[in-house]
Amino acid sequence: MISFRTGTWALALLTATLSDSCAMRSSAPPMSLRMDYTGVEAITHAMVRESLTDADVDSLLRIHAVRATMVDNVHQYIPGVSAADFRSAITDYVRRTEMARGSKAIYFQLAETGKVRQQIDTLVHAIRASEGEVGRRLVAELGPYQPDTGPLVVTAYFVAGGVSMGFVLDDTPNAFYVNLTRADGDINSVIANMAHETYHVMQKAAARQVPALAVIADAPAKLPLPERLLATTLTEGTANYVVDASRSSAAGPGMDKARAQYYRNLAPAELVKSFALFDSVLGELRDGSTSWENAYGRGFTGDDPRFYFVGYQMARAIDRYCGAQCIGALFKRPPAEFLRQYIALYREHTDVVPRFSPRTEAFVASLP
């Protein structure tokens, strides 16, 4: 049973909104979701000030969602960017000081946020006014694929700016962050983003229940690089499949953009290219000829993140031949099991394509 704690009140949702098989599972873990708007409101309000003192910026950085977005997550992807850079960037922004060429301010997306501030305010009001409907839609989308997490309380932090459309942090359990700057003013795109990130929180919560898998949930950077590739393909690929824009009829510019991305990347010829790239990158990580940053950039970033769709295709085959419950069960097993199940399916069913290279198959078979 999933319920939603929205703002300062709780809304119980009927399991009838789920598929019959999911609704009848008495073991389905309870989950609640709290929505937090302090980050997005603090940033957008600060940006219309004429000046900010050091104390003002200190206050901003004491807000969890602001620091997580503008410091922790930015630093994760661009290690040379720090809290001091954010201080300079937002102080210059409110003074209307022109940014120097090559300034690190670009990583905080303050200029982009300022251009769409009215859209962001409109989105915040719309989400606040429809929290119950948002909850019902998340239940309907995630319920059939819900892993066994145990009781779970999740916080959704709405933010503006930074380097990600949505993200979770490995050291902040049971929380995710949604960047309204990148939402194109589209509430349906925001809800899809929330569903994707909620599923990541569920994945981590399920993995934490298995001591040997806790590293995947909380410290994936400690994994050997080839295994980190498998783990990331599992988590991103399954979330990409469960929250599938190509199966949604929701309207809006953000959703239209997402659907176009799915259609491009799920074309058979593109999937063949994506699987071949996966084989190549995995081989390079195994022989030490590439870095994680290079591998991640080639497979998980940009307008066409190919490894999201490698994982999507595997999840689609598992769902078709095993069922939604088999997707939810993946997160209590080593990531290699995801690939092993897919390989077993394409050996049994000729319509399951594309296939991995023999080298990839042998490596996956060698893992525990």
pLDDT tens digits, one per residue of 234-268: 999 999 999 999 999 999 999 999 999 999 999 99
Nearest Cα residue to 360 out of 333, 331, 339, 338: 339
Both 281 and 154 in one domain: the answer is no
Q: Which residues contact 171 (CB under 8 A, 6 or more apart)?
A: 218
Sign of CA dihedral 352, 265, 219, 6: negative
Number of neighbours of residue 296 by Cβ within 10 angstroms: 17
Distance between CA atoms of residues 126 and 82, nearest Å: 33
What band does 7 get if pLDDT is binned at 50, 70 and 90? Answer: very low
Beta bridge partners of 11: 4
Both 191 and 279 in one domain: the answer is no
Both 298 and 329 in one domain: the answer is yes
Burial degree of 27 (CB within 10 A; 0-12, 13-18, 19+): exposed
Both 158 and 127 in one domain: the answer is yes
Distance between CA atoms of residues 124 and 142, nearest Å: 23
Both 276 and 134 in one domain: the answer is no
Both 74 and 162 in one domain: the answer is yes
For range 100-120, the mean pLDDT = 88
Both 123 and 63 in one domain: the answer is yes
Domain that holds residue 272: 224-366
* Number of domains comprising the chain: 2
38-52, 90-104, 212-226, 323-337: which range is least confident on average? 90-104
Nearest Cα residue to 183 out of 213, 199, 161, 201: 161
Distance between CA atoms of residues 154 and 202, nearest Å: 9
Both 230 and 154 in one domain: the answer is no
Average pLDDT, the chain: 91
Residue 368 CA to its chain's centroid (Å): 27
Distance between CA atoms of residues 271 and 276, nearest Å: 8
In a domain, 214, yes or no: no
Both 178 and 319 in one domain: the answer is no
Please report, as a single letter, which amino acid is at residue 235.
T
